[in-house]
Amino acid sequence: MLDGDCGTGNPVDDCWRCDPSWADNRQRLADCAVGFGRDAAGGKNGRNYVVTDPGDADDPSDPAPGTLRYGLVQEGPLWITFARDMTIRPKHDLLVGSHKTVDGRGAAVVVGDGGACLVIHNASHVIVHGITVRGCKPARTASGGMSDGDGITVFRATDVWVDHCTLENCTDGLIDVTDASTRVTLSNNLLRNHDKAVLLGHSDDFTDDKDMKVTVAFNRFGPGLVQRMPRCRFGLFHVINNDYISWQIYAIGGSASPTILSHGNRFLAGEAKEVTKRDGRTAESEWSTWTWISEGDMLLNGAFFRSSGSPGPDVNTPSFAKSVSLVSAMTDSVGVLSCKEGSLC
């Protein structure tokens, strides 16, 4: 927890959590992101909107004022907060529009719980902060098909930041970033009790993902995870100062020649086990040229990282990255925070 001067060493948290009056200037949060999603403005400089109704309309094109869905589809920047603790069970995927912030601080907000969840599709400048996403189920889409039941889907979207969320027990993935999405940061999240945690990249044939850039920083993976922490394709991925609490199959994996920098992560294996996994259909003669770099990682209980390739010009350690010795302190408060107005969060 925070001490008197908020010195966690976590650059995101130390940007705003030191202020006991955080609730009077919620939009300060938009200046605190790091990594590839650092320019995600969310609803900065927009109106404030308070969710008062946890319900959802049968017709997603006609949401009721006061609901989360109504706020997410409004034109222009909007900073969305919640009047009280609530569980929202969407009947259809919650489509998040551009320039929106979903800010759960000060309330215990659960999205999913047997309903659909969040989809950031063809949108930009989105911040999702401080909510629990769990129990997400497939839902019928506007085209008549069914969604996969992911927790948070980022699809053809740019400048996205997901921070201090707790995600678990969804039908498919917890977070998917696909279909030429880029400039995304996933930070300070708690991901647990799930099989396929984080997918970055649509498929081995979808070459538009070559421009994807995603930062995965200060998260805690586990307990109860199996694989994809994350699984990467084509793009450039910075995996920085995360805490890995065991894994069943692998922690970091990929195919289609992704570039991965793993810096200052703590990998705690339950037994002697590889951190990394290349797609089994790819010959070693090919994957050995992929740039997968482990830099200053802590490998415990027999964990081992199989590096490949060479650093090259794209693999530069970001300025916010810290020593692995600080990971425990920096990830002490991952997931949804307990925030009360008038006191440190």
Active-site annotation, residues: 228
| Other C-beta atoms lying within 10 Å of the C-beta of residue 269 | 19
DSSP letter string over 12-27? THHHHTT-TTGGGGGG
Q: Hey, which residues does 49 pair with through a beta bridge?
A: 80
**Separation of alpha carbons 121 and 135, rounded Å:** 21
b/e map 181-198, b = 16+ CB within 10 Å: bbbbbbbbbbbbebbbbb
Helix (H, G, I), strand (E, B) or coil at 248: coil
Q: Are 119 and 142 spatial neighbours (Cβ–Cβ below 8 Å)?
A: no
Q: 329, exposed or middle or buried, with CB in 10 Å at 0-12, 13-18, 19+?
A: middle
Helices (H) and strands (E) in the chain, counts: 4, 31
| Other C-beta atoms lying within 10 Å of the C-beta of residue 114 | 11
| Other C-beta atoms lying within 10 Å of the C-beta of residue 250 | 18
Identify the CA nearest to 257 among candidates 229, 305, 216, 289: 289
**Separation of alpha carbons 49 and 51, rounded Å:** 7
**Separation of alpha carbons 150 and 341, rounded Å:** 32
